[in-house]
A and B are shown apart, each in its own frame.
Chain A
């Protein structure tokens, strides 16, 4: 299943909330945590990462990855954490409303 419009930013923020991750790991994490239900289009992942970095929601640094190669790791900033909370609330409210609508018979 492809990602619904506009949710990629939220999922990225969530994926890097616990610990710094590099791009490939972020995609993998979303894929796995969603029980392989969600697949990140790799073409849109990196522009999204750079956009979020420009907005100051995530911060990037280079580090050595688990297989001993240099990788670019992204981590959440304070601003990003606020965004994550806001967007999570907004998403919950939205899905709750949509569920209400769908369950209403």
Chain B
């Protein structure tokens, strides 16, 4: 065995010499044999002829010798490659087309792979990422529960399987003021050991000492993010030791992190403060350091030699005793995992899966197209193959030749695809992944990993084999004679018909789905039962600076009055929960219902003129106004769908509804606004007056403007700032901006699938053109005869065009079924009514059929110009 390998390797390295030796050896034999015949009285020429006949094909024997030496595989592959380069140079159009289309299709594969890698798979960018574990609490089915500071201490102080366990709250909205320049930025509240767990280094100054994170509220020290340091302090060293105000408290800057630090979320961290400052960083608990306030995530490094399973078992065993008695829905168990991916959107895994499927279909369509073209090309090369076979090449050798050529082209395409995907990913990152739906900047690291590149190249090679094996096998099987009869038989292009029809079907399905998604994204922004185009948003957050409800509400009233007084503002309202157009959830019921009967519905507390501001139609009764105060009778407004569920038609007004524990009287019914996709149940809505909740502190304000809301945003912010300069203002964006942020998966899907559809249509056109042009060239003689027998040019054109359009139209029509199935699959990304969907299907069919028609015109025109005299002389 080892001998064998050594022999093969030696032979491989002295291949040139071996070839010469083989030739010499066989020549010697032939000469020696001829000598023998000459000695027995034959003439030299006759002897030579006799020897040739006896010996058989020299090339064939040489080939068998190479086989016997075991270097055939490597050797012939190299030979095939050299040959492939030569043939490719001779027919550059097919080669160019193959490289370009495989490149465009694999660019889609690489783009999805990159998205999947960054959003779902990638480990943290820290050193030895395999050691890093994220520790979360389980709450019922959820496994992403945060823990309180005292619970974190319990784990930190007892755990041995995890070397260092750090705590972090990485999405802390901090209102930071440095010398008159105040703004809301994303910050992180982290334990002192956080930096060492992630292996971070300071760019200037230092990180927190353990002692600075030991006593609550004592050490007001802050570390800046690199970009924040650059923008606020111009990167000056004097920043170290400078004071900054965070949520109203004065901190001292002690250090700056290096650029692009390891981040646990796509929100870049601008400022770090220690966990002992949690009461400043987190304002939604009365005491943020109490055991009831669960806000911290935990991240740690496994102790040397420990596994996740061991850490899991140990952490579960040392969890706080109170967790065993906790009610369902609170922290009860422990979940240890390796942090993977940056996705924070539940729709993204499904989006990536959908796009992956689309990319694979696209590559298959591309293969079908190239298989058709290659089939035609192989027929044209039959003479060449026949000569090679008669020279002694085995049929399998021809198959390998064709496959090698194709894989070479596909490989080149794959390299192009990888490069192109960098452009695509960059564009996607800029368009969709640079800002969240609240206007905060995001950072996703979309750099390509080796695995992504490898996946792409492998898919390109697979495509090369896929599109060439069938045509290659057929080429090798065909009889070696090329007669006119064989030619016109092959001109019927029956297999390529099926391939073309399938391409057309796929093109229709992709075009229809892309259009559905694009219009779906627009439907959300344009809205049903609301008008978003002229609405500006703003969030005011007195809670960050610890205002009491009384003081905060005084500020709110004043701010809203001032905004209303602006000439550019038509109406102003606000919500107390969640965001404008969405909200939280609430249990509702009718008096006398059992608690099990109650419905969970969407809920918000909205100010006067809320529905007027959004232009949501009030169907019956009235919306909230200044009559609804903390001291007036509790009232509610319900959505139309909820009214239909609870009462007979027309009986909602004046009825009593149980909202949470409070009885409220229904004073209005409004049209439904649903932010749910077709895959989800539509929202049921109940609203309570903003001012009937005496605990209101923060709010999100909606402002209807006369003109473009983006133009007046700075003025609106200035007015509110003027009312109370201390109150943090955030999320000053327009409603359309926010809505497009919400529909990111839909828009990414629309763009991506639109690209796939355009490419599939292009491929269908190329495929059809290629097939028809080839058929015309093969049928030149037949067409010549027809014309000579009196067929009109128009008739020839019609017959060719008919031939092409029929195939494409049949495929496109079949594509409707595919489109309907595909739109079901992406229902979770579709918004709005399905009533008009058929329009998209029909439009897609006509678009693809139209492209088919255009593609068949040129070959038809060429057929019509065939001169019978020239045609009949052919062959």
Known: A54-B7, A56-B4. A24 touches B28 (CB 8 A): yes
Nearest-neighbor residue (CB-CB) of B3 within chain A: A56
Known: A42-B55, A47-B61. A72 touches B25 (CB 8 A): yes
In the complex, number of A-B residue pairs with CB atoms less than 8 Å apart: 68
* Residue B551 CB within 8 A of the other chain: no
Residues A71 and B28 in contact, CB atoms below 8 Å apart: yes
Least distance between B743 CB and chain A CB atoms (Å):
66
Docked pose: A22 CA to B27 CA in angstroms: 12
Docked pose: A54 CA to B6 CA in angstroms: 9
Least distance between A6 CB and chain B CB atoms (Å):
15
Nearest-neighbor residue (CB-CB) of B35 within chain A: A67
Docked pose: A2 CA to B66 CA in angstroms: 24
* Residue A51 CB within 8 A of the other chain: yes
- Interface residues of A, dominant DSSP: helix
28 contacts between A and B (CB under 8 A): A22-B28, A24-B28, A24-B32, A42-B29, A42-B33, A42-B55, A43-B61, A43-B64, A46-B29, A46-B61, A46-B65, A47-B67, A50-B65, A50-B66, A50-B68, A51-B68, A54-B4, A54-B8, A54-B68, A56-B3, A56-B4, A69-B28, A70-B24, A71-B25, A71-B32, A72-B21, A72-B24, A72-B28
Q: Which residues of B contact A96 (CB under 8 A)?
A: none
Interface range, B side? 20 to 34
* Residue B711 CB within 8 A of the other chain: no
Q: Which residues of A contact B28 (CB under 8 A)?
A: 22-24, 65, 69-72
* Residue A55 CB within 8 A of the other chain: yes
Least distance between B54 CB and chain A CB atoms (Å):
6
* Residue B395 CB within 8 A of the other chain: no
- CB < 8 Å neighbour of B7 from A47, A56, A69: A56
Docked pose: A23 CA to B60 CA in angstroms: 17
Other A-B pairs beyond A46-B26, A50-B66, A55-B3, 16, CB < 8 Å: A22-B25, A23-B28, A23-B29, A24-B33, A42-B33, A43-B55, A43-B64, A46-B64, A46-B65, A50-B65, A51-B68, A53-B7, A53-B69, A56-B7, A67-B35, A72-B25
Q: Which residues of A contact B66 (CB under 8 A)?
A: 50
B62-95 to A contact mask, C-beta < 8 Å, 1/0: 0011111110000000000000000000000000
A68-98 to B contact mask, C-beta < 8 Å, 1/0: 0111100000000000000000000000000
* Residue B31 CB within 8 A of the other chain: yes
Docked pose: A23 CA to B31 CA in angstroms: 12
- Interface residues of B, dominant DSSP: helix
Docked pose: A76 CA to B21 CA in angstroms: 20
Least distance between A71 CB and chain B CB atoms (Å):
5
Least distance between B606 CB and chain A CB atoms (Å):
86
Nearest first, the 10 A-B pairs at minimum CB distance are A50-B68, A47-B64, A51-B68, A24-B32, A56-B3, A47-B68, A43-B56, A50-B65, A72-B25, A24-B29
Q: Which residues of A contact B65 (CB under 8 A)?
A: 46-47, 49-50
Chain B residues 19-58 with CB under 8 Å of chain A are 21, 24-26, 28-29, 31-33, 35, 54-56
- Residue among A22, A24, A53, A62 having the largest count of chain B Cβ atoms under 10 Å: A24
Docked pose: A1 CA to B64 CA in angstroms: 23
* Residue A37 CB within 8 A of the other chain: no
* Residue A48 CB within 8 A of the other chain: yes
Least distance between B521 CB and chain A CB atoms (Å):
65
Q: Which residues of B contact A50 (CB under 8 A)?
A: 65-66, 68-69
Docked pose: A53 CA to B69 CA in angstroms: 8
A36-64 to B contact mask, C-beta < 8 Å, 1/0: 00000011001111110111100000100
Docked pose: A55 CA to B21 CA in angstroms: 19
Q: Which residues of A contact B29 (CB under 8 A)?
A: 22-24, 42, 46
Q: Which residues of B contact A55 (CB under 8 A)?
A: 3-4
Least distance between B22 CB and chain A CB atoms (Å):
8
Chain B residues 584-612 with CB under 8 Å of chain A are none
Docked pose: A70 CA to B8 CA in angstroms: 24
Least distance between B646 CB and chain A CB atoms (Å):
87
Q: Which residues of B contact A56 (CB under 8 A)?
A: 3-4, 7
